[in-house]
Amino acid sequence: MDVRQKIIQRAALEIKDGMNVNLGIGIPTLLANEIPPSINVLLQSENGLLGIGPYPTPAEVDPDLINAGKETVTAVPGAAFFDSAESFAMIRGGHIDLAILGGMEVSETGDLANWMIPGKMVKGMGGAMDLVNGAKKVVVVMEHVNKHGESKVKQICTLPLTGKNVVHCLITDLAVFEFTSSGMVLIELVDGATLEEVREKTEASFTVSPQLLIHQ
């Protein structure tokens, strides 16, 4: 299975019936195709759409319907369209139950760095700083190591921060971590991963849950 798909399938389990969910750009946008029909959720895009549906087929493409990553999307029945100011009022007002965001680095204390991409021109941090402070729960999805094989799960983030102590759950292609008052806790091993591999590829300090779930 593709690494990104493995991450997204696990992240989909964080979405519960009745939630308003914001999907960040990158890997999180793939979640729109993974939500089962039995779950009633509203996906929000900070550029002004509440009620994102799956990616469109070629026949369904509407250039006026895009998400925050400028990808074409569909809208579910009952979807609402509004301006960016209204969108951020939803976020800042605490009306987003769950934000699923991509990450460049996450620290052992739950700090997130996800807006500055080394070596690339970035126009700004977008809505990420609002989301990590306004959403009731923040889940970060990312690959465990970068293209150089270096851990992205850090003791201290080296890139500019999006927010401090804001991550509730981290899902990678190897493991799932929760951030608690006592620190970073490994709660799941992804299918094919071992505890030894996770320790080797994780710079951050973490404890292992006594109820560690190992997917087979």
Q: Specify the pLDDT at position 20.
A: 96
46 included as an active-site residue: yes
Give mean pLDDT, residues 74-90: 93
pLDDT single digits (tens) 190-213: 988 999 999 999 999 999 999 998
Q: What is the CATH number of the domain that holds 147?
A: 3.40.1080.10
| pLDDT of 99 higher than 90 | yes
Q: Rounded CA gap, 151 and 107, in Å?
A: 11
Q: How many beta carbons lie within 10 A of that of residue 126, not counting itself?
A: 18
- Contact residues for 32 (Cβ-Cβ < 8 A; gap 6+): 23, 43, 52, 53, 54, 55, 73
Q: Which of 31, 7, 9, 30 is nearest to 19 (CA)?
A: 31
**Which of these is catalytic: 14, 46, 105, 188?**
46
Q: Specify the pLDDT at position 121.
A: 64
Q: Specify the pLDDT at position 216.
A: 67
Give mean pLDDT, residues 9-15: 94
Q: How many domains does the chain have?
A: 1
End-to-end Cα, the chain, rounded Å: 14
Q: Which domain holds residue 114?
A: 3-214
Which of 19-23, 47-51, 67-71, 185-189 is predicted with the least confidence, judged by mean pLDDT? Answer: 67-71
Q: Rounded CA gap, 184 and 154, in Å?
A: 11
